[in-house]
Structure 1
Amino acid sequence: MSLVTIKRVGIVVLVIWLITLFYLWLPNIVDSKKWPFLGKKGLNSINMNSKANSTNMMHVVITSDKHTLGGMIATMNSIYSNTRHDVMFHLVVDDESFDHIIIWLKKTKLNMLNYEVKRFPVEWVQDKIHLRSGRPELGRPLNYARYYLPRLFPDLKGRILFIDDDCIVQGDISDLYTMKINSGDLAAFSNDCSATSKRLSRLKNNYAEYIDFKNKHIQQMHMHPATCSFNTGLMLTDLDLWKKNNITEQLEYWLQLNKKEEVYGNEKGGGGSQPPMMIVFYKNYTAIDPSWHVRYLGWTSGTSYSKAFVSHAKLLHWNGHFKPWGRLSQHSDIWDRYFVKDPTLKFKPLRRFST
């Protein structure tokens, strides 16, 4: 091989190496469509923090898709604004939202936060979801991402906090993150039997509202239909216990069984990702303080709570149809305080008197 040939080969190798480095460090600038040999979808994750595995870091997971991405932004900002502790945000999004959320974070004041962004592999649940209720949004793949926490974050150990993207956190998240979980319990959730939940819910707040107790597989579980239900939009769990007890596999079992036969979905509580979690965590969780999960703000367009009450709540949840970025949402002024404008203008909150 001549000296000239060796030099040419060296230049080609150098160029490929530089392109690869450029792609890895600046994924939102490189268009993967122009560089097909680097992958059809580009990176599957991006990490913007070097202290992600710090023992003092609180790990918070938020999942979202193109329909609710602004909610993820407001939830993050509310957590960051109201705590003095280090938080690592683990953001899971759909393919369409991956580049969008990175640009949103990098080009706003949120660029100082510790975060990683991951694409959710929709094929994990694509052929397993079967809805029988009248709310198609409950069948969106990102609603089921919480089933796969250890698979999404294989290097994480210990506690992790999952929060829905239609929440605003007004308290210091460290108080919730460090709460005591009773020995033997696998997680912490908010049950539906507090006075506030009973007053506002249209349901009886029990398992029978969500699960078909005529199903033979449910009968074999020996669950009581009058057992108090709980909300899965806020969950504190331990990833080591999750893996040890094969929680993901258990959730998938009920998810797939419901596709073959009715296990849940025709009841008043509807279907979606909640019923399998209610089955798997039956009487195996610690109750979260009610002030840390004030919900049903999205059930009606009218005001459910007084301004004084919501101002003292530590976490607000707009579960239901009327989201805080929607035109008919209640107490949207609180959500607006934490929303950070989308620099791409793709996501715009709707308001009653907007033009």
Structure 2
Amino acid sequence: MPLLKKINQVLIMLLVLLACLLLHSSLKSSTQLKKAYRQSHGLTADLPAEEAETDDVVPVIICASEERTGATMATINSIISNTDSNVFFYIVTLRDAVKIARTYIEKTKLKGIQYKILEFNPMVLRGKVKPDSSRPDLLHPLNFVRFYLPLLGISHRRVIYVDDDVIVQGDIKDLYNIKLKAGHAAAFASDCDLPSTHEMVRSIGMQTTYMGFLDYRKQEVKDLAINPNHCSFNPGVFVAEIKEWKKQKITKQLERWMEENFRQNIYSSAMAGGVATPPMLIVFHDKYTALDPLWHVRHLGWSPDARYAESFLQGAHLLHWNGPFKPWNDPAVHSDLWERWFIPDPSGRFTLTRPGSGS
């Protein structure tokens, strides 16, 4: 009997050990599957995600292309200089710019920021984006990162996305704490919000309605039953609720409209807003919370001559040079407001174009 009892104890221990090994293998496989899924959708992390997953952090997602890394760093500098909050930056880039972005940070005043570099695989866009020669910059793969937020491998309940031609003058925590309406996956700034913006829009002929982004001659657009005079919004700055985004399968919806455009050409960068804005206008139509307009003052890059009143810009929380006239180039308006946050590139790749500079 004692011998039988010992045998039973050994067998039980072996069974427990086997169960532990199976559980470990299952968890490892699950992690590997998640990693493979993110990689198949074009997203790989440069640093372990656990470093940023705390409750008190303000997560900010921003892209850094090789040719515009200095713009990204100016945006980051403006954010950290105007808040006491714990900000964590997810910097999304292509493989050729990973080292450039890291060097820019580690060899400048930004070396103390909290960040993670994510590599975006442009193959995820195959069959979804067709060439368009009118504004090829709008076809850059990083322009579509905003579609894939839940696949970035982060676990925050919400995130802030900002373009790289943005300067933040307010406390980013105030933007992060905006209350979204029930059932809304994101908050954007409406194109019909501020009188000052209306004046700018009229002066440069910018479109602010769905008519400026979608081809209403196409049946697929007519079937949406969206009033062509309905106000558009700008997706260059927004707050996203990740759980709601996943629940509504926003990424899948956006991909569907990208693929539809690839087949039917229902929108084009020859129209007002390029190829990244129209899918978001369709998917989020009447399903988004409006941002305080001072948290997204836009159109600073649409004309080399049209200007806002300086007093108005000083009170704005966020400035966006959307359009072809960027503040690091010449000509551009209000470039002094951008340049105060610029950090010279330690590698010398990114330089400012200024009158008489010869560059």
Describe the superposition over 1:173-221 as per-residue Cα deviations: whole angstroms up to 9, x where unpaired. 1111101111122210011102233222213411111111232222222
Q: 1:281 to 1:304 in 2, by over 3 A?
A: same
Q: 1:198 to 1:211 in 2, by over 3 A?
A: same
The residue aligned with 1:160 is 159
Matched, 1:192 2:191: yes
Contact 1:83 1:173 in 2 (8 A): yes
- What is the CA-CA distance between 1:168 and the residue it aligns to? 0.2
- What is the CA-CA distance between 1:290 and the residue it aligns to? 1.1
Q: How does 1:101-140 map to 2 (within 5 A)?
A: 101-132=101-132, 134-140=134-140
Q: How does 1:145-224 map to 2 (within 5 A)?
A: 145-153=145-153, 155-194=154-193, 195-201=195-201, 202-224=205-227
- What is the CA-CA distance between 1:67 and the residue it aligns to? 2.2
Measure, in 1, the Cα distance between the counterparts of 2:304 and 2:48.
Answer: 38
The residue aligned with 2:302 is 299
The code of the aligned residue for 2:351 comes to K
Contact 1:212 1:267 in 2 (8 A): no
- What is the CA-CA distance between 1:261 and the residue it aligns to? 0.7
Matched, 1:317 2:320: yes
- What is the CA-CA distance between 1:132 and the residue it aligns to? 4.7
Indicate the SS of the match to 1:276: helix
Contact 1:318 1:324 in 2 (8 A): yes
The code of the aligned residue for 1:185 comes to H
**Rg bigger for which structure?**
2
Q: 1:306 to 1:198 in 2, by over 3 A?
A: closer
The code of the aligned residue for 2:349 comes to K
Indicate the SS of the match to 2:160: strand
Q: How does 1:13-32 map to 2 (within 5 A)?
A: none
Structure 1: 5+ residue stretches without partners: 1-42
Moved more, 249-258 or 221-230: 221-230
Contact 2:232 2:281 in 1 (8 A): yes
Indicate the SS of the match to 1:47: coil
Contact 2:139 2:275 in 1 (8 A): yes
Give the alignment's TM-score, normalised by structure 1: 0.84
Measure, in 1, the Cα distance between the counterparts of 2:56 and 2:231.
Answer: 34
The residue aligned with 2:272 is 269
The residue aligned with 1:17 is none
- What is the CA-CA distance between 1:107 and the residue it aligns to? 1.0
- What is the CA-CA distance between 1:44 and the residue it aligns to? 4.7
Contact 1:161 1:236 in 2 (8 A): yes
Indicate the SS of the match to 2:67: coil
- What is the CA-CA distance between 1:49 and the residue it aligns to? 8.8
The code of the aligned residue for 1:218 comes to V
Matched, 1:68 2:71: no
1:342 to 341, 345, 351: 345
2:240 to 229, 234, 237: 237
2:288 to 280, 285, 288: 285
- What is the CA-CA distance between 1:337 and the residue it aligns to? 1.3
- What is the CA-CA distance between 1:266 and the residue it aligns to? 6.8
Measure, in 2, the Cα distance between the counterparts of 1:288 and 1:174.
Answer: 14
State the superposition RMSD in angstroms. Answer: 1.8
Moved more, 233-242 or 295-304: 295-304
Measure, in 2, the Cα distance between the counterparts of 1:191 and 1:315.
Answer: 14
- What is the CA-CA distance between 1:170 and the residue it aligns to? 0.3
Contact 2:64 2:101 in 1 (8 A): no
- What is the CA-CA distance between 1:45 and the residue it aligns to? 3.1
2:261 to 258, 262, 267: 258
Q: 1:198 to 1:267 in 2, by over 3 A?
A: farther
Indicate the SS of the match to 1:188: strand
Contact 2:296 2:318 in 1 (8 A): yes
Q: 1:49 to 1:267 in 2, by over 3 A?
A: closer
Q: 1:250 to 1:296 in 2, by over 3 A?
A: same
Moved more, 208-217 or 100-109: 208-217
- What is the CA-CA distance between 1:223 and the residue it aligns to? 1.5
Measure, in 2, the Cα distance between the counterparts of 1:199 and 1:332.
Answer: 20
Describe the superposition over 1:13-71 as per-residue Cα deviations: whole angstroms up to 9, x where unpaired. xxxxxxxxxxxxxxxxxxxxxxxxxxxxxx95333997511100011000131222111
The residue aligned with 2:79 is 79
Contact 1:189 1:236 in 2 (8 A): yes
Structure 2: 5+ residue stretches without partners: 1-42
- What is the CA-CA distance between 1:131 and the residue it aligns to? 4.8
1:329 to 308, 312, 332: 332
Measure, in 1, the Cα distance between the counterparts of 2:330 and 2:226.
Answer: 40
Measure, in 2, the Cα distance between the counterparts of 1:49 and 1:352.
Answer: 43
Measure, in 2, the Cα distance between the counterparts of 1:164 and 1:204.
Answer: 19
Indicate the SS of the match to 1:104: helix
Matched, 1:96 2:96: yes
- What is the CA-CA distance between 1:267 and the residue it aligns to? 6.3
The residue aligned with 2:52 is 52
Give the alignment's TM-score, normalised by structure 2: 0.83
